[in-house]
Every structure is written in structure tokens, then in C-alpha cells.
């Protein structure tokens, strides 16, 4: 195997003969792996801070067993060997084929992720209310008070609570030989309407993210996939805007937080239209 001083020692049975670094960040490091039989795989090694998230992700992928998501091939401590899903993202497909085509693919992936499993859900998944802690911590701040109060009511009235991927967006859906699959789950549990909330903030920098007509059309497509009505989908999309902005501020990124809140105002406008 080509040397990589940052790579952990790997089990011999993984038969990895070469590693090519793909990404590195606060969550850890990702490699493309080549195995003795010529097949590709992905190897992920989390940072110390990301280990709990990595364990939940592994539990979710193991439970999903390849239905709508990549397969977890094996684990060694917190290092994961994962199915390789190719390099074509839904973001790339949207650029070539348009928003409507990409939205239908996203809806189909979510539908498959939410299909019943014969296995019991993992006990390690993070409840949505716990996941919203960063927003609730800012409930006394003017910009976040309404978001926090609304999210509190929303989370008290969850429907059809189930395991969630937790981070569905245009760069976390890839075109594999098995079809379109989701990668990088958070491993949550809660109302299925939350699972498409981040889609409204994507693709990054797309100006139509603040267009209420696009937001409503998007919600109409995605609501069918999660078996919730348009109002519920938009409600979670709006609550997520506050949560995402709170996360940005934790990273001291005021510009990104303000951009996120701008999208939130557009989602709220669309929600008000649907309710009227």
C-alpha cells in the first residue's frame, strides 16, 4: 500500500492496497481505497471530536443495509470502510438536467431511506430535540427567539417518529452503479419532515433558494417522499434555518449565518402563503 502517514493501520482482511486522500476537515479524514480485487471503497477516520457522530452514522448505515444509502462494509474501531458510490453528485445532475429532475431524484432517495426495515432501529440515534440544542441556547436573542419558540412547539408535536439520515442535500446524494444513494448520515430520530429541511438551503449560493415559488414547488415534491403535508415540510425547513444559523455563529461565521436567516425569511414567507 502506498504510504500515508495520517492513515490508521488497517485490518488485513480489508485487502486495501492503496489509499488516496480525498478530504480532510474538523470531522476527520476521507480516503479513496483500492482493494486487492480492484474494487474501490471509501475509508473514513473521524477526528476525536467527531467520533460520537461517526458511531451514530455507522449504526444508521448498518440498519439501512444499503436501502437508499451506501453500505457500511466494515468497521475497525471508529474507522469505516464504506461502499464507493462514484463521483457524480446530485448537484452535478441538477446543473445538467435542471431543478425538477434533481428534485425527483432526491425525493426517490428519501422515499427509499424511509422505507420500513425488518431490523429494529439503532438505540444510539440522536433525538431531534437534542439536535436542536444550539438553537434553543440562543432563544433569548432577538434574531432567534421566534425560531426557538416555533421549533419548541414543532418538536412537541412530531408525527411518525422514525430514524432519519439527517443531512440530505445535493452533495450528499451520489449516482452509484446501484442507483442514486445517500452518503454521510447524521443518524437522527424524529419527524420525517425534518429529513428534507436542509434541501431548501441548497445548492450553495443558488439565488432561487430565496424564491417562495421555488420553495413551495420543492416542498410539494418532497412532502410526498416523507409522507407529510407541505406545511409540515416547510415548518421544519424554517426551524432548520434558525438551527443552521446558530451553528454558523458557533463557528464565528456571521456572513453565513445572515445568509441562512435570509433563506429562513423566504421559507417563512412560503409557509405563510401555504397557510393562507
- What is the grid cell recorded at 124? 444510539
Q: Is 167 a catalytic residue?
A: yes
Judge contact between 274 and 237, C-beta under 8 A: no
Which alpha helices (H) appear in the chain, and where do they start and end?
51-64, 90-97, 99-113, 128-131, 133-136, 142-156, 212-226, 230-250, 254-275
Cα–Cα distance for residue pair 171/55, rounded to 1 Å: 21
User: Which strands form 72-76's sheet, in the order they lie side by side?
Assistant: 16-25, 28-35, 40-46, 79-83, 72-76
Q: Please, which residues bridge with residue 164 across strands? A: 188
Separation in Å, CA 215 to CA 168, 262, 265, 268: 16, 13, 11, 10
Catalytic site residue from 78, 167, 184, 191: 167
Instruction: Tell me the three state secondary structure of residue 17.
Output: strand
Q: Active-site residue numbers?
A: 167
Amino acid at each position: 500500500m502506498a504510504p500515508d502517514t495520517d492513515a490508521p493501520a488497517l485490518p488485513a482482511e480489508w485487502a486495501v492496497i492503496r489509499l488516496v486522500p480525498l478530504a480532510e476537515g474538523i470531522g476527520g479524514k476521507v480516503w479513496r481505497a483500492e482493494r486487492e480485487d480492484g474494487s474501490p471503497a471509501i475509508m473514513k477516520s473521524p477526528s476525536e471530536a467527531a467520533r460520537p457522530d461517526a458511531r451514530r452514522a455507522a449504526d444508521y448505515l448498518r440498519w439501512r443495509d444499503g436501502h437508499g444509502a451506501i453500505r457500511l462494509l466494515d468497521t475497525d474501531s471508529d474507522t469505516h470502510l464504506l461502499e464507493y458510490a462514484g463521483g457524480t453528485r446530485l448537484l452535478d445532475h441538477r446543473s445538467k438536467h435542471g431543478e425538477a429532475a434533481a428534485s425527483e431524484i432526491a425525493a426517490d432517495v428519501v422515499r427509499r431511506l424511509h422505507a420500513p426495515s425488518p431490523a429494529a432501529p439503532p438505540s444510539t440515534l440522536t433525538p431531534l430535540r437534542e439536535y436542536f440544542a444550539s438553537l434553543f441556547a440562543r432563544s433569548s436573542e432577538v434574531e432567534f427567539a421566534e425560531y426557538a419558540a416555533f421549533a419548541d412547539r414543532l418538536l412537541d408535536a412530531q408525527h411518525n417518529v422514525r430514524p432519519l439520515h439527517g443531512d440530505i442535500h445535493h452533495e450528499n446524494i451520489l449516482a452509484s452503479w446501484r442507483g442514486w444513494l445517500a452518503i454521510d448520515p447524521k443518524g437522527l430520530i424524529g419527524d420525517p419532515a425534518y429529513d428534507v429541511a436542509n434541501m431548501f438551503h441548497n445548492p450553495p449560493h443558488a439565488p432561487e433558494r430565496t424564491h417562495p415559488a421555488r420553495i413551495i414547488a420543492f416542498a410539494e415534491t418532497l412532502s410526498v417522499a416523507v409522507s407529510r403535508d407541505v406545511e409540515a415540510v416547510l415548518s421544519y425547513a424554517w426551524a432548520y434555518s434558525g438551527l443552521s444559523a446558530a451553528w454558523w455563529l458557533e463557528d464565528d461565521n456571521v456572513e453565513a449565518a445572515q445568509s441562512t436567516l435570509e433563506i429562513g425569511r423566504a421559507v417563512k414567507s412560503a409557509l405563510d402563503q401555504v397557510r393562507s
